[in-house]
Structure 1
Amino acid sequence: MNSQYPCPNYSRLMIRIEQFVEKTIQVKYPWYEFHDELLELVIELDTAFDFKLQYSAYVKAMLELIWRNTLDGEVNIDQINDLSFKQIQQGFDRFKPDRNKELKAFHRLESRNRETLVMYLDNLIGHYSKLLFVRVDLAYLKHKQHKVDVRVFQQDVRELLSFIQDGDRCFKDLEGYAWALEQGEEKGFHCHLLLIYNGSTRQKDYYLADQTIQRWQEITEDDGYGFNCNAPKHKNQFRRNDSLGIGMIHRDNDREVQNAINTCSYLVNPEKANQQLRVKLHRMRTFGTGSYKRNHRRYRDRGYSLST
């Protein structure tokens, strides 16, 4: 497809297309400026399309519309504009079964990922008397999101994970970690990151989260930003409700442990279908944890399993 138009905000475009297709399928009559919005999305998708990427079902519905109205490599805007609302609606409607399968697959995958994460946390908590839980959300500044496609996002996350795995700077004494990639309407491509430190050697959770955000900003050349979940004000909101699950977590405190599990489970939530990636690279992972190797000499059974 061609590139005669300016590059769009990739993340926002995919979500707008998904919303447009869903609305077109559901309504009985076209809304005001239906064709104007349709042609705008067609032109932007024509610019952004990459055959090496995998797209969600409703983005594929729009792509099929483009392909059916392309001649000699150029999308025929006039031809699309002449299509009736009913014709376009019927074309989109054929993708409803694929969309339903997509949502069910997402729910199954997130459920499995949650089980994996809970087991991983259970092992770590059983291994250490206390652990320092640090949470950050990493994204891109709104006015910079147009520079970030899924390839840039994946590369930035990979670079961050390489620093984590190497125990570089603020990641020293790290005993475990987990990450999840998402795509939201406002935040665009973003990463939820959990860092777990040995509580006997690390105490300053706000500082460690802040340093992680600074590393993200370095990686993204200041196009990125982060939210520090370990900020005192944020933690106090949960402490008042006795639901604080980050900061120092002691193995012998059942409330702290359960709060930590509940908080960390947010990384992989089967109910967050509106946050799934609408475009991915082939075999691109959206969730992962560090490896865990049990040291039987240090491991202590807490008498119950968090995975049940």
Structure 2
Amino acid sequence: MFYSPVNHSQLISNVDRLVRQILFGTINFQQIKSQLNEFYYSFMISLDPDFRYSKPIQVFIESTNAIIGDTYAYNVFWDNEKTMQLINLLSSYGKMIKKDYSAWRYQSHQNGKRLENNIRTLTSNYSRLLFVRVDLKYIPDLSHHITIRDFDFHMKKLRDFIHNGDTCFTHLLGYAWSLEQGEENGGFHCHLLLIFDSSKHYQDNYLADRVGQKWRDITDDIGYCFVLNTREYKEGLTRYGKLGIGMIHRNNLQEVENAVNAALYLTRPDKRDGSYQRLKVALPNMNTFGQSMTH
């Protein structure tokens, strides 16, 4: 597989954030100009006509093209006049971007409602279930090599293993996944929930470790896995009365509620750290969320 030497995902994240800061944030004029001169050229030459970009990026491309015209990106210097033109042009897109953001939040809410309903159905049908939660990422020092094509390829391989019930995915009763992109480093990652038949499995940390190994195999060791099912992490959740992973018992209502809340993290548009984790680039017809449950 070909890995890019340019950090495309970081560039994409930077441009998306810049547009949102210009329209809704507190960025000043000199910061805008500085950032434009810092990554405009690299971003423009990295554009791929086959990719589907977020609304802020789409309006950035349209607005800069209107200002720059046929000038080659390498020869563009963002002076005060061009920067002001861009700010004025972008201002006309504020309502469109807000509408797009609202639609995304609504879809996230709908995904959450379906996920909650499926989990409640599962917990009512089984006396015990084993909930495993992992975050599939890429090693920070190597993540700049990963493009959205690579990420999509890796996720398709992972979903094939899940669908086929191979190795660490045997006796799986349900699963859900959510694809996201980091705000600060632009890194692609997947939040994954796996729900196992507890009559066949009971070692959640062991299963999570095996999923992590599968992810490393799929990514040729560029990927790494953050496991939430460790003893230390679960003890921390227990202290706050929020443990919703591991063995969940139907007759323990608090465990069930915690499990639902833990699962819904996958569909929450606003993450705990306040960052904007929405995927900002995708391939055509690429889904960013999916779930499957056995009822």
**Matched residues in 2 for 1:266 and 1:291: separation?**
17
Match of 1:53 in 2: 51
The one-letter code matched in structure 2 to 1:162 is D
**Is 1:164 matched with 2:162?**
yes
Post-superposition shift, 1:228?
A: 0.6
Distance in 2 (alpha carbons) for counterparts of 1:83 and 1:65: 14
Partner of 1:244: 243
TM-score of the aligned structures, taking structure 2 as reference length: 0.90
Deviation readout 1:47-106 (Å, 9 max, x if unpaired)? 21011211112212321244232428x336346547343212102212212210111011
Which residue matches 1:281? 283
TM-score (norm 1): 0.86
Aligned to 1:262: 261
Give me the whole-angstrom Cα distance separating, in 1, the residues matched to 2:230 and 2:222: 22
Matched, 1:290 2:292: yes
Q: Cα offset for 1:36?
A: 3.8
Contact 1:132 1:246 (C-alpha < 8 Å) held by counterparts: yes
**Contact 2:134/2:193, CA 8 A, preserved across alignment:** yes
Deviation at 1:194, TM superposition (A): 0.5
Distance 1:125 1:187, change over 3 A: farther
Q: Please state how far the C-alpha of 1:242 moved relative to its aligned partner.
A: 2.1
On the 8 A contact 1:11/1:149 being kept in 2, the answer is yes
Contact 2:193/2:263 (CA < 8 Å) preserved in 1?
Answer: yes
Equivalenced residue count is: 286
Matches within 5 A, 1:1-308: 7-25=5-23, 26=25, 30-31=29-30, 34-68=32-66, 69-71=68-70, 74-75=72-73, 77-78=75-76, 80-81=78-79, 83-185=81-183, 186=185, 188-272=187-271, 274-292=276-294, 294=295
Q: d(CA) in 1 for partners of 2:144 and 2:126?
A: 43
Residue 114 of structure 1 contacts residue 269 of structure 1 at CA under 8 Å; is this kept in 2?
Answer: yes
Supply the distance in 1 between the matched residues of 2:27 and 2:287 (Cα, whole angstroms). Answer: 38
Deviation at 1:18, TM superposition (A): 2.1
Measure, in 2, the Cα distance between the counterparts of 1:244 and 1:151.
35
CA displacement 1:172-208 (0-9 Å, x = unmatched): 1111111011111246110000011111110110010
Percent identical pairs in the alignment equals 35
Residues 144 and 187 in structure 2, CA contact (< 8 A), matched pair in contact too: no
Could you tell me how far 1:149 is from its partner in structure 2? 1.3
Report the CA distance shift for 1:78/1:175 in structure 2 as closer, same or farther (over 3 A): closer
The answer to whether the 8 A contact 2:136-2:224 is kept is: yes
Between 173-182 and 273-282, the greater mean CA deviation after superposition: 273-282
Distance 1:196 1:20 in 2: 39
Distance 1:189 1:256 in 2: 31
d(CA) in 1 for partners of 2:246 and 2:204? 6
RMSD: 2.1
**2: CA distance, partners of 1:158 / 1:19:** 28
Quote how far apart the aligned CAs of 1:124 are: 1.3
Question: Partner amino acid for 2:242?
Answer: S
The change in CA–CA distance for 1:17 and 1:108 in structure 2 (over 3 A counts) is: same
- Residues of 2 paired with 1:200 and 1:108: CA distance? 37
Runs of 5+ consecutive residues of structure 1 not aligned to the other structure:
1-5, 295-308
Q: Secondary structure at the match of 2:191?
A: strand
Q: 1:139 touches 1:187 (CA, 8 Å); kept in 2?
A: no
Cα distance change, pair 214–37 in 1 and its aligned pair in 2 (3 A): same
Q: Based on CA coordinates, which of the two structures has the bigger radius of gyration?
A: 1
Instruction: Tell me the SS of whatever aligns to 1:274.
Output: coil
